[in-house]
Amino acid sequence: MEFKKLVSTRRSVRSYLSGASHEDLEAICKAAQQAPSWMNQQTARCYVLETPEVLESLRDAALPPFNRGSSANAALIVTTFVKGIVGFGPDGQPVDDIGNGWGIYDLGLHDAYLILAAKDLGYDTLIMGMRDVSVLREKLDIPENEELISVIAVGRSDTVPPTPPRKPLDETVKFF
Ligand SMILES: Cc1cc2nc3c(=O)[nH]c(=O)nc-3n(C[C@H](O)[C@H](O)[C@H](O)COP(=O)(O)O)c2cc1C
């Protein structure tokens, strides 16, 4: 899809008909790997939930009711990053006041690529920040050195939500 159209038509969708195929989920995760990262450290990690049994049990256990309903029928990708690498020096100390915030920054870029790649393959997405981290960590065996950030629904939808308005540019951008 042409880039301008891709960016302008991507929406957070809260109603799905079906999930994504295994091949497409793999392609989406591969595209996300193309995102830039601090010294190419690539600390982002994906846990892809695609089988109906896993999806059903984890959606119920790890999502609040509104996100459970919004993501019904979709596949889920849990994204994490390995802590203590990006933004840290060889001595293991943070290089500045941002610390693991740099890992979150890299993961945000990774996830942005992920949702745009999904859109390009004809899928819609919903990033969900409201999730039960301890349930997901236990059930997916996510190690303690990874920070679990988001759960992203990926699926086919026939819903086209309205575009939530953006702030005027002069409120968010300063030119010098
Ligand atoms: C970090 C993050 C967390 C979010 N968490 C949720 C969530 O838990 N549930 C939900 O319905 N939407 C969630 N959203 C979606 C936002 O509400 C949505 O991106 C915003 O309203 C703009 O709409 P758009 O994505 O269609 O442009 C989240 C988005 C981001 C980036």
- Domain range list for the chain: 3-158
CA 147 to CA 31: how far, in whole Å? Answer: 21
pLDDT in tens, 22-44: 999 999 999 999 999 999 999 99
Measured in angstroms, how far is the CA atom of residue 86 from the centroid of ligand 1?
A: 25
Ligand 1 pocket mutation, candidates 126, 133, 150, 157, criterion most atoms within 8 A of CB = 126
Rounded-to-integer distance, Cα 143 and Cα 140, Å? 9
Instruction: Give the architecture (CATH level 2) of 3-158.
Output: 3-Layer(aba) Sandwich (3.40)
Q: What is the average per-residue pLDDT within 166-172?
A: 98
Query: 169 vs 109, 165, 173, CA distance in Å?
Result: 21, 12, 6
- Mean pLDDT, residues 160-168: 96
pLDDT at 52 over 90: yes
Separation of CA 69 and ligand 1 centre (Å)? 15
- Segment 99-127, tens digit of pLDDT: 999 999 999 999 999 999 999 999 999 99
What is the structure's pLDDT at 1?
Answer: 76
What pLDDT band is residue 94 in, cutting at 50, 70 and 90?
very high
pLDDT band at 160 (very low <50, low <70, confident <90, very high): very high
For helices 133-140 and 52-62, angle between their N-to-C axes, nearest 10 degrees? 150
Span 56-73, mean pLDDT?
97
Please list the residues that pair with 82 across neighbouring strands.
Answer: 146
Pocket test for ligand 1, best of 8, 12, 116 (most atoms within 8 A of CB): 12
Determine the distance separating the centroid of ligand 1 and the alpha carbon of 126, expressed in angstroms.
7
Residue identifier of the C-alpha nearest atom 29 of ligand 1: 127
C-alpha angle with apex 4: 21 to 45, nearest 5 degrees?
40
Rounded distance from Cα 128 to ligand 1 centre (Å): 6
Pocket of ligand 1 (CB under 6 A): 11-12, 14, 67, 70, 126-130, 164
Residue 141 banded pLDDT, cuts 50, 70, 90: very high
Average pLDDT of the residues in 141-168: 97
